[in-house]
Amino acid sequence: MQNAKDSFYMALRARLVVINPSRTILLRSAMRPGILVEEAEAPFSQLPDDVFVLRWLGLDADLNLSATMAAEECEILYQTCGTQSFGGLDRGHALSEMDEELLAMVTPFCAPKLNYASTPPAAMLTQVFWDEPSFTPVVVQRDRLSRSAKIMVYSYQEQGE
């Protein structure tokens, strides 16, 4: 399932760069698109603001098909305090903007599956596909608004995976 997880993340990352190139994060002295995979980064005490954080939750598989289909639930967490120029009073607007960006990133609901263990990434025979996101209610923590969305990501297992 690692190739599917990597392909899902890289598809969302590439789409975010097109949708909102100014949504970035400075991480380990490198400016990157504002999306990251929690398990691939050093632990942080609090999620970064104005960034999408992918968290992989649970794996399942359907072995009754001609090829094994794996499914893993991905939770995408994000939060904002708004902007300093508006004293944080635009935090609702900023969260809505991130909601819209997330919807745009996951559409269409598929992407080519690539093997990122090689450089350049090698194309695989199948695609990664996913369901529509299921959004949680907004959580208010003092001056911060946060939300998450859960998405089931599917992939057929190919030989050698």
Please tell me the predicted confidence (pLDDT) of residue 88: 65
The class that CATH gives domain 2-156 is alpha beta
Please tell me the predicted confidence (pLDDT) of residue 64: 79
Contact 154, 111 (CB under 8 A): no
Separation CA 156–CA 161 (nearest Å)? 10
The two most distant CA atoms of the chain are separated, in Å, by 56
Contact 40, 129 (CB under 8 A): no
Instruction: Per-residue pLDDT tens, the chain, 161 aa: give them.
Output: 999 999 999 999 999 999 999 999 998 899 999 999 999 998 888 899 999 999 999 888 887 778 889 999 999 999 999 877 766 678 899 999 999 999 999 999 999 999 999 899 999 999 999 999 999 999 999 899 999 999 999 999 988 78
Please tell me the predicted confidence (pLDDT) of residue 70: 93
